[in-house]
Amino acid sequence: MASQKQSLPSFASLLSVLSIVFYCAGFLRVELELNEQKKRIIDLENNWENKAPDVPNRDKLTTNTHGKSFLASAENLVYTVDILSGFAYRETILKINKLLSELKPQLCQSNGHSCLPGPPGPPGPKGDKGSQGRRRNKGDQGIIGSPGMNGRQGITGPVGPKGDAGLKGQKGDMGPAGMPGAKGEPGESISAPAVAVSPKTLTVNEGGSASFQCSVSGNPKPAIKWIKTNRRSSGSVVSGGKLLLKNVRGSYSGTYNCSAVNILGEAQALVQLIVNVYPRVSLHPGPHHAIEGSNYTFPSCNVTGYPAPAVTWRKTSGPLPQGRVKYNNSALQILHISKDDSDFYFCSASNLLGRVEKKTFLVVVSPPRFIVKPSAKVFPGVGSTLTLDCKATGDPQPVISWKKQDGQLPAGRSRQLINGTLVIRDITMKDRGIYKCIAPYAKVFKTEAVTYIEFEKGNSFL
Ligand SMILES: *[C@@H]1O[C@H](CO)[C@@H](O)[C@H](O)[C@H]1NC(C)=O
Ligand SMILES: *[C@@H]1O[C@H](CO)[C@@H](O)[C@H](O)[C@H]1NC(C)=O
Ligand SMILES: *[C@@H]1O[C@H](CO)[C@@H](O)[C@H](O)[C@H]1NC(C)=O
Ligand SMILES: *[C@@H]1O[C@H](CO)[C@@H](O)[C@H](O)[C@H]1NC(C)=O
Ligand SMILES: *[C@@H]1O[C@H](CO)[C@@H](O)[C@H](O)[C@H]1NC(C)=O
């Protein structure tokens, strides 16, 4: 607006100039007045310092009256004046304040001008340290920070495992031909084969292995062959003239024949193999039954082994009964045997490889005795009833049974009583024959009593 009316100085611009002049004059007057007041205060201070040395808060007062912040706080000024009881001074201050408050609206608000704020005062003195705050609970754990920088490089590790072998290279070029060799010795003359064997005899234990070497000379080189002389060779391995027999058995024993053949002829040599065989015993375990008073021969104790095992017999309860025993390698015989001979009998076989034993059980039994025997011959009448008594004792008590030789007991007309008696009623001529009362014992033996039913000549026509 001011730029528009530049060419024509108006009444408004004249008024502005006048205002500035008035303002400057006002300000000058205030400054002078303030200076005067300041001077008076300093005089008062000096006066008060000399006159009132025991006034409290003297330090505070002194600090406060050092000028710079004097007008900033009117209350401090009032406080100072109160202590000094300088009422005249207070009046003066009030007058200044009144003057300032009257002037301020005029100076600052006229014609749109505003008062600029003054520069900030210097910072106040440092306050006392506050009391320590209350300690609170520990806070939540913070988030994981960003990873740190890489550490220094570690020391060199141990040497790693060896790698796989590389691929085989290609074959190189053929080298130059070598120098021709020296002249050879004159060749051998041709000869018939000759054979040497080692060892000539060999003894091995059953289960072991045997080997023979057959060395052959001759030109042309002869073919070598091993044969078992008396039987087919079994389990033999031939390599370069060597005969190897593994896990040998008794049947390997014998003679082996190494032969060599070429165009000029044939040669051979024999070796002997001996196999020691563990003794083995086979014996029926029984029980065997022998009749008291008889001569009893045990079933043979079959023994194998090489060298031929020695066979001995014994019984559990001690040595064999002296004087009543005959035995050779396989069989044991006990003469006139008695009840006391019932026992376990042991057949043992031993040779240099070891000893084995087998046992068998012998039971000596006594046959039942008949205490009542039927008559050797009876002549019953036709149509009559015939009674045939038979009774035997033994231990255990034998159970009597009747049989008719070459036929059946008369069906329906015969019965056996509990005491062993046989009863036949309504005898007919067909009942003629031999009847046996049998008393068994030890299941395998039996004793018999025999009777013959016959008819008298005269009766046969009845
Ligand atoms: C050994 O073997 C050869 C060739 O098979 C044979 O001619 C020879 O008679 C044998 N000798 C004996 C002792 O068996
Ligand atoms: C013993 O040998 C004989 C004759 O070779 C044979 O009859 C018998 O059964 C054998 N006994 C056993 C227990 O092998
Ligand atoms: C038993 O043998 C002996 C002698 O060998 C002989 O004298 C006797 O008669 C025999 N006894 C029987 C019951 O065979
Ligand atoms: C062994 O004894 C038995 C029975 O007495 C007889 O048959 C056999 O011939 C005897 N053997 C020898 C070798 O004496
Ligand atoms: C067997 O019993 C019958 C009938 O009880 C009798 O008649 C008979 O005499 C008895 N026999 C013997 C040998 O005791």
227 lines ligand 1 (CB under 6 A): yes
187 token code pair: 């060749």
- Using the atom order of ligand 2, give the atom closest to the CA of residue 302: 1
The pLDDT, as a whole number, for residue 343 is 94
* Angstrom distance (rounded) from CA 40 to CA 96: 13
pLDDT of residue 322: 87
Residues in the chain with pLDDT < 50? 1-7, 52-85, 108, 110, 112-114, 460-462
Cis peptide before 374 (omega within 30 of 0): no
Instruction: Check pocket membership of 268 for ligand 1, CB cut-off 6 A.
Output: yes
pTM above 0.75, yes or no: no
Alpha carbon of 335 to ligand 3 centroid (Å): 7
Would you say the CB of residue 330 lies under 6 angstroms from ligand 4? yes
Which atom of ligand 1 lies at the shortest distance from residue 270's CA?
13
Q: What are phi and psi of 123, to 5 degrees?
A: -60, 145
Cα–Cα distance measured from residue 334 to residue 294, given in angstroms and rounded to the nearest whole number: 9
CA 310 to chain centre: 51
Which ligand has the nearest atom to the CA of 294? 3
Kind of pairing between the strands at 377-378 and 445-453:
parallel
What is the predicted pLDDT for the residue at 155? 72
Does residue 228 contact residue 202 with C-beta atoms inside 8 Å? no
The verdict on the CB of residue 255 being under 6 Å from ligand 1 is no
**Protein residue closest via CA to atom 4 of ligand 3:** 335
Sign of the dihedral defined by the CA atoms of residues 98, 104, 109, 110, in that order: positive
Q: β-strand 288-291 against 354-365: which pairing, if any?
A: parallel
How far is the C-alpha of 260 from the C-alpha of 262, rounded, in Å? Answer: 7
Report the C-alpha gap between 310 and 293 in whole angstroms.
Answer: 30
Q: How many CB atoms lie within 10 A of CB 225?
A: 16
Task: Say which DSSP state 315 is in.
Answer: E
Label the pairing between strands 201-205 and 265-282.
parallel
CB of 295 closer than 6 A to ligand 3? yes
Ligand 1 centroid to residue 257 C-alpha, Å: 6
Give the count of beta carbons closer than 10 Å to the beta carbon of residue 298: 21
Q: Which of 298, 326, 329, 330 to mutate to test ligand 4, by most ligand atoms within 8 A of the CB atom? A: 330
Atom of ligand 5 nearest to the CA of 372: 13
Q: Which ligand is nearest to the CA of 284?
A: 2
Buried b (16+ CB within 10 A) or exposed e, 429-456: eebeeebbbbbbbbeeeebebebebebe
Q: At what angle do helices 11-51 and 87-109 cross, to 10 degrees?
A: 160
**Alpha helices by DSSP H, 212-336:** none
Closest by CA to 240, choosing from 256, 257, 265, 260, is 260
Residues linked to residue 345 through DSSP beta bridges, in sequence order: 315, 360
CA–centroid distance for 455 within its chain: 93
Q: Which two tokens stand for residue 200?
A: 């000539």
- Verify cis geometry, omega within 30 degrees of 0, for the bond prior to 287: yes
Atom of ligand 1 at shortest range from CA of 261: 4
What pLDDT is recorded for position 60?
41
CB of 297 sitting under 6 A from ligand 4:
yes
Ligand 1 midpoint to CA 206 (Å):
27
Q: What is the pLDDT of residue 7?
A: 47
Distance (Å) from CA 146 to ligand 4 centroid: 107
Distance 331 CA to ligand 4 centre (A): 6
